[in-house]
Amino acid sequence: MKSILIFLMGMTLLVTNISAQQALWGGQAIVSPEINSDNTVTFRLMAPGADSVFVTGDFLPTEKIKTPMGEFDGPGKAALTKDDKGVWSFTSQTLSPELYSYSFIIDGFSTTDPSNPFLIRDVASITNIFIVGGGRADLYKVNDIPHGSVTRRWYESPGLEMDRRVTIYTPPGYETSSDKYPVLYLLHGAGGDEEAWISLGRTAQIMDNLIAQGKAKPMIVVMPNGNVIQDAAPGEGHEGFYKPQFMVPKTMDGTYEANFMDIIKFVESNYRVKADKADRAVAGLSMGGFHSFHISRYYPNTFDYVGLFSAAIMPREDATSKVYDDIDGTLKKQMENGYELYWIAIGKTDFLYQANADLRKQMDAMGMKYSYTETEGGHIWRNWRVYLSDFVPLLFK
């Protein structure tokens, strides 16, 4: 009996050990992607039974993609070739320094690279990432410098009648300092949440690097969830695991803007901050730019710095919230109260380009001052990381 017990215990340990090593055995013994010395990148995939393999990503020339919302520029694709061992490969042209995303298409099925564990989620799409270093892309890397902290906090929102999750970056030395800091409220776009800027936007890396280089003042960055029906990002709140959607109800109906002070009150009650107009900034991309535009004029004496990154501008025709009443009048009030910087940035091929041109025309007619940046490209994270990197050094001078 004793020998049987010892045997069973041994088998249990063996099975446990095998289970623990499955993650090691599950990977492919190849390198992909491999960043070569000339900044070309080689992708590889072991798939001996596949008939075709393509790589698609934002490092390739764009292609026109038809969607229900219209025709847009999307990532191109390139064919991999198979060797006699069943390994497919493709080497790109020399790439400029940047953070890139990609995925594979195997016999028509899109999937991630099993050799690359580094992933990002954009709405419901999962892609791999890699960085070609140098130049601006070094801002997106973790370098050997002092680092800030990133925490997920829950705050009470009486206006929304729920506790909600927010991501907050505090600069290097915050925990051991008694200093008070200015605050940037950084808002995501449609389909995003409180994880978007910290993951896709590389906010912590950008802030750490700019502060270490002396190009930005140490500040707190608050990244809320702009989807008012959610308490947190999909998989992080009480609704559990569900597929993220591009647009959820009530995201642009004025509810978020009307209750934004709940976030500010939480931050100013729980963090060492300078709680005044001169030390508050609000900025956002796309839908977050829409929110930044309307929040800053709805509370016209609250922010000295406003950033609109590829912003949606005007509310839908069926929007009835008082937040959207008297847009011209509240903009005029914001202008009269004064501010340090109103910063607008847009890509030349962005589908919101005309909306931003119309806003600038409206502001010109009012005599409302702003700074304007126009870049190549469209409605993409590559631009928004650039905009954040350019905007932050202008704050709290």
The pLDDT score that the predictor gives to residue 18 is: 40
Question: And the tokens for 292?
Answer: 């930044």
Q: Which of 342, 378, 375 is nearest to 359 (CA)?
A: 342
**Candidate from 59-73, 291-305, 316-330, 366-380 with smallest mean pLDDT:** 59-73
The pLDDT score that the predictor gives to residue 246 is: 80
Say if residues 128 and 111 touch (Cβ distance below 8 Å).
no
34-133 has which CATH code?
2.60.40.10
Q: Where are the domains of the chain?
A: 34-133, 145-394
Distance CA 193, CA 288 (A): 10
Question: Is 190 a residue whose pLDDT tops 70?
Answer: yes
Alpha-carbon 128 to chain mean position = 15
Question: And the tokens for 40?
Answer: 């070309």
Question: What one-letter code names the amino acid at 254?
Answer: G
Residues 211-260 have pLDDT tens digits of 999 999 999 999 999 999 998 888 888 888 878 888 888 889 999 999 99
SS3 of residue 18 by DSSP: helix
pLDDT category, 70, cuts 50, 70, 90?
low
145-394 has which CATH code?
3.40.50.1820
The pLDDT score that the predictor gives to residue 5 is: 46
Q: Is the pTM of this model over 0.75?
A: yes
Question: Is 33 a residue whose pLDDT tops 90?
Answer: yes
pLDDT category, 15, cuts 50, 70, 90?
very low
Question: Is 191 a residue whose pLDDT tops 80?
Answer: yes
Tally the C-alpha atoms within 13 A of residue 314's C-alpha that lie toward its C-beta.
14
Residues 6+ apart with CB under 8 A from 388: 186, 197, 201, 203, 206, 283, 309
pLDDT category, 354, cuts 50, 70, 90?
very high
Task: Indicate the pairing of strand 280-285 with strand 305-309.
Answer: parallel
Distance CA 289, CA 295 (A): 10
Say if residues 277 and 303 touch (Cβ distance below 8 Å).
yes
Cα(first)–Cα(last) distance of the chain, in Å? 79
